Structure 1
């Protein structure tokens, strides 16, 4: 079952004075969050890139479980959306990786929430020398250290095992970062993949900020997911505005591995990184994916350069 609807933000109190309306007119409106119902108990809170990473929301017997929390400032909005769907409280937050656009609102939830993450994620957040690493660890300093994950895992862990709410957490190695967690909702046959598959574009490999990303390992990690995670039909991406299917993940793995293989062939042929970028051609079978060249993240250039550097 998939239904999509937009839930409005809570209406401003009628007694607001006129200056508040003027202030709102001067500030950009917070982009709305789209809610996709994937099953009776599982929702995706999305909106692509505009609000931060996509959230998975499970209405479990014991309360609501969230996977990721978008950008800083979205905590109240997320709680409003949860209250529109269920009267159960948020009891657990799981994070797919360290970045601020997936964990920015972690510290905006009640102290009763239990936090779960891979051990590498907690290690990054527990640092005291945060800058310039974009791990969001600034949010976990001082009194906010109480929001650090209380439960961590290394390679696999099951939550609510043996119940309809069972959630399986997997870690298969480096890729986007060194803590990318795959979150499987067993009953719904759905998996949140974080930014290991953010959408129909090349990934951002965080290989220079101390977050452990690897262009060399990225494709191998996806292959381990495909070979070892059973019974998944629905994919919740890191940033794509609609859910995808398992076959899309398989195609994405092929798309990335082809770029890796072409780059390795260029290295073996004695080409430079610049020449490898120039000679790369995206196969027609991956037409649905974007592989731009030149500048910035999500392009061919940084991935090829990382592979040449052995990262």
Structure 2
């Protein structure tokens, strides 16, 4: 049981405890030094039968009607001194994934507030959104929903198509061209050398680091081209290792005359085998012997 929650709903219609997931989402209240007194908690669904009242928000403990305390004193949103605390409760609650808040004159008991899950929104008297007090609406609308996933945001931005005009498309070739253009990764025109990792790091740590045009006086683009060239060279060597071996073996047989030897066979990195898999091909004489 959460230490910051006290149940005073034993004699109420909604006399069940809160759902564990809701309790986890409300854990921020304990960090604020706030305790909660629940006077209306969970209830069974209509299909399950049993005592229940009002909307489905309280079903299975997905919502609570409660009083809030700080330093042993009951808080009241009608008190100008306490209102900023209620506003912070709402802001942090929405960030934690709590979706529904109800409070205000004519709604439940003075100073109390509804907190829980269900359709996102705020409301006041008669459970109507139009009756939600201004402070409640402003606090809720001024807070982001849930915790942002900055990496997902950067990846999503990278997958966005570059803005372009979309004239009428005629023919399969035009369709294919449009689809290819739509898959182009996002590139910041001001920092074209930044990749997804650089963008994500800046967003996570709040930095403004970018890949420079030159590194140690050498143009960055040329460095990248150099590495790409090395990769292409290695790929070419790997793909043609059999052709090279054939040429070496032909030359070795021609040089050995009538001797029955097995020439050396070269294996490039792309087809390299562990030492345990290499096989001895015979005595080491001339160019015969082992795989190298």
TM norm structure 2: 0.28
Higher relative contact order (CA closer than 8 Å, sequence separation 6+): 1
| Greater fraction helix | 2
State TM-score, norm by structure 1: 0.27
Higher strand share: 1
